[in-house]
């Protein structure tokens, strides 16, 4: 598969059978915001969770694994949604997911122990995978061309903006009301049920998924592998930075939340520029840019101590990570027929959530062996190398096109 070339026009998902409305856009943006709440909204609470659930064990690892359990269940939810929405329609999948998300999410407020909390996180993660898969397929259904690129960019931008607000508000809530109070925000999901019911196409009801689709979706394995690896970078800020900052003497959840919000703020700026950048840089250029900025920011965070240095690192990281998800999602949608968008995006998102779950598993040995700061430096160096490889590939592609 020529992953760096243009998406084929024949039997591709370049065209959209319907036109988007304000209601469709509101649902797509809202679901992306709920995913931000599921993860980044709880980041400032991780140190407090680690203290409560540690009990003489590695509380940091327990908190991170409970935090990341939702990502594991999102893998299952995304894969199930890819087939389920082919049979019952994307609208039904999204509405059912919103209802379960609200109930399971708010259950975290009263979870008596880590086991029950893990169950509520698992349920919320499962339906989040379903909703997000159906949402990306919905974008492919209602938007095409530049409108699709801009919509994907807005999705990422909105998620980053919500993350900024949640980092700030979340830190304050944790300091004032305790980490459990954050779970009350999950009830916001109920506000999206009416627009989803009204705006989305009812879809079809069938006893069987679209036949013969696995060959066309599995051939995109290079894209799925990329999203696994790059999600480790994306979630370095949300999952690992609170512990880096705590080690360096920054103990206030409010301060940690504000510093984490810097990354999301500039991630939103990068995502806002995604539509323009994608038109001029292409797939390989976008991935090179994301690799170099993300990797460079990780090295700055690991090598230079102090709040100012971390602020600089957060800016650099944010400018790159905001464009990774829409870049790979756009390539996936363009390279598969519209009727298989649910299945292809299900695999794509499952790969992304798998990468998120790998983050603490990869960082655990690095942190234990070299310390959290050097672990940031090692990860950053790996992505700088990847950025260089993308630049080499981009130059080779340019030479082939010039020769043709």
- What mean pLDDT do residues 30-50 have? 81
**Exposed/middle/buried for residue 363 (C-beta within 10 Å: 0-12, 13-18, 19+):** buried
| CATH code, 114 | 1.20.1250.20
Residue 377 confidence (pLDDT) above 90: yes
9 within domain boundaries = no
The residue that leads in pLDDT, 393 or 31, is 31
- What mean pLDDT do residues 135-148 have? 85
Q: pLDDT digit string (tens) for 55-100? A: 655 667 777 777 778 878 888 998 888 788 878 888 899 999 999 9
Q: pLDDT digit string (tens) for 144-188? A: 888 888 888 888 888 878 877 887 787 788 888 877 888 888 999
DSSP helix/strand/coil, 213:
coil
pTM of this prediction?
Answer: 0.76
The residue that leads in pLDDT, 194 or 4, is 194
- What mean pLDDT do residues 306-331 have? 88
Q: pLDDT digit string (tens) for 216-248? A: 788 888 899 999 889 887 778 777 888 888 888
13 within domain boundaries = no
Give Cβ neighbours of residue 372 (< 8 Å, ≥ 6 apart): 240, 243, 244, 247
Best mean pLDDT range from 7-21, 37-51, 224-238: 224-238
Band of residue 287 on the pLDDT scale cut at 50, 70, 90: very high
- What mean pLDDT do residues 194-214 have? 73
272 within domain boundaries = yes
Band of residue 254 on the pLDDT scale cut at 50, 70, 90: confident
- What mean pLDDT do residues 10-39 have? 78
How far is C-alpha 15 from the chain's CA centre? Answer: 25
Residue 309 confidence (pLDDT) above 60: yes
14 within domain boundaries = no
Q: Please give the tally of structural domains in the chain.
A: 1
Alpha-carbon Rg for the chain, nearest whole angstrom, is 20
pLDDT score for 17: 59
- What mean pLDDT do residues 17-36 have? 85
Q: pLDDT digit string (tens) for 266-284? A: 888 888 888 888 888 888 8
373 within domain boundaries = yes
DSSP for residue 57: S
CA distance 384 to 388: 6
Both ends of the chain: CA-CA distance in Å?
19
Instruction: Provide the domain limits for residue 185.
Output: 22-207+221-403
DSSP codes joined into one string, 216-280: HHHTTHHHHHHHHHHHHHHTIIIIIHHHHHHHTT---HHHHHHHHHHHHHHHHHHHHTHHHHHHH
What is the share, in percent, of the chain residues with pLDDT greater than 90? 22
Q: Are 170 and 44 in contact (CB under 8 A)?
A: yes
Residue 14 confidence (pLDDT) above 70: no
Residue 10 confidence (pLDDT) above 50: no
199 within domain boundaries = yes
CA nearest to 74, candidates 114, 145, 122: 122
CA distance 309 to 40: 21
Other CB atoms within 10 Å distance of the CB of residue 59: 18
CA distance 305 to 319: 21
Q: Are 273 and 153 in contact (CB under 8 A)?
A: yes
pLDDT score for 57: 54
10 within domain boundaries = no
17 within domain boundaries = no
Band of residue 50 on the pLDDT scale cut at 50, 70, 90: confident
Other CB atoms within 10 Å distance of the CB of residue 31: 26
- DSSP element (H, E) containing 125: helix 114-142
Specify the residue for token string 């944790």: 174
What is the share, in percent, of the chain residues with pLDDT greater than 70? 90
CA nearest to 23, candidates 195, 188, 208: 195
- DSSP element (H, E) containing 374: helix 372-403
CA distance 379 to 382: 5
């Amino acid at each position: 598969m020529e992953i760096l070339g243009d998406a084929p026009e024949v039997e591709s998902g370049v065209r959209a059978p319907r036109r988007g409305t304000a209601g469709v856009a509101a649902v797509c943006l809202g679901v992306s915001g709920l995913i931000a709440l599921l993860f980044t909204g709880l980041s400032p609470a991780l140190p407090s969770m680690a203290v409560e659930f540690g009990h003489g064990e590695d509380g940091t690892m327990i908190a991170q694994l409970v935090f990341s359990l939702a990502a594991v269940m999102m893998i299952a939810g995304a894969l199930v949604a890819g087939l389920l929405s082919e049979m019952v329609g994307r609208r039904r999948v999204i509405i059912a997911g919103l209802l379960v998300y609200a109930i399971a999410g708010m259950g975290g407020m009263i979870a008596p122990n880590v086991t029950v909390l893990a169950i509520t996180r698992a349920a919320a993660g499962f339906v989040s995978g379903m909703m997000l898969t159906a949402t990306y397929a919905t974008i492919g259904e209602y938007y095409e061309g530049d409108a699709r690129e801009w919509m994907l960019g807005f999705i990422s931008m909105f998620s980053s903006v919500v993350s900024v607000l949640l980092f700030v508000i979340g830190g304050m809530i944790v300091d004032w009301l305790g980490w459990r109070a954050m779970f009350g925000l999950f009830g916001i999901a109920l506000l999206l049920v009416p627009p989803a019911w009204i705006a989305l196409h009812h879809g079809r009801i069938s006893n069987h998924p679209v036949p013969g689709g696995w060959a066309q979706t599995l051939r995109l394995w290079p894209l799925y592998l990329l999203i696994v690896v790059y999600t480790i970078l994306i979630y370095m800020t949300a999952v690992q930075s609170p512990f880096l900052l705590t080690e360096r003497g920054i103990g206030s959840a409010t301060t940690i939340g504000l510093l984490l919000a810097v990354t999301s703020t500039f991630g939103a700026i990068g995502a806002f520029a995604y539509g323009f950048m994608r038109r001029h840089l292409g797939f390989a250029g976008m991935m090179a840019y994301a690799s170099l900025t993300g990797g460079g920011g990780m090295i700055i965070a690991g090598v230079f101590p102090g709040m100012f240095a971390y602020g600089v690192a957060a800016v650099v990281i944010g400018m790159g990570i905001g464009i990774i998800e829409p870049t790979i999602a756009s390539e996936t949608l363009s390279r598969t027929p519209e009727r298989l968008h649910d299945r292809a995006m299900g695999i794509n998102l499952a790969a992304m959530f798998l990468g998120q779950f790998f983050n603490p598993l990869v960082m655990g040995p690095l942190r234990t062996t070299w310390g959290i700061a050097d672990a940031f430096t090692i990860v950053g160096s790996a992505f700088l190398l990847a950025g260089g490889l993308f630049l080499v590939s981009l130059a080779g592609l340019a030479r082939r096109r010039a020769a043709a």
